Amino acid sequence: MTAKKPAARLPKATFHSVALVVADRVRSVTWYTQNLGLDVIEQGAGDGDHWVVVGRKGQNGGVHLCDIPTFDPNFPVEPGESGIQFDLPGDFKKSCAALKANGVRFSTPPTKRPWGWYAKIVDPDGNEIRVNPR
């Protein structure tokens, strides 16, 4: 199959963030920075600090911890598979053990499949995040 060329020159978009609905932004920022070791890479001002993105400074993309229930109490927080994946450096099993020792809960422990290793961790709202070896 041949890709169709766009009719007009398209802008070179870059990846910014993926929104993840959380029930308590402050608790989530603490968990993602202290338990996972991510950085706060962007934080809004003037909107009650609603806009908080965590990730790795100097790298593209992050996770926008979206505290919608603060503004709309009827908005559901839907725990489960988030579709977000993180890569862990170094020895995968040791990296997972370090996360576990730092209070990170695993819904799927480090598991080896024919295609490689993976695990799933769970944030305070029940959002599952897949972790892979880098």
Domain boundaries, the chain: 15-70, 80-134
Q: Does CATH number 3.10.180.10 belong to domain 80-134? A: yes
CA–CA separation, 70 vs 25, rounded Å? 9
Neighbours of 39 (CB within 10 A): 15
Strand 62-66 and strand 52-55: the pairing is antiparallel
Q: Specify the higher pLDDT residue, 134 or 47.
A: 134
CATH architecture of 15-70: Roll (3.10)
pLDDT digits (tens, 9 = 90+) for 65-80: 988 777 777 887 788 8
Query: pTM here?
Result: 0.82
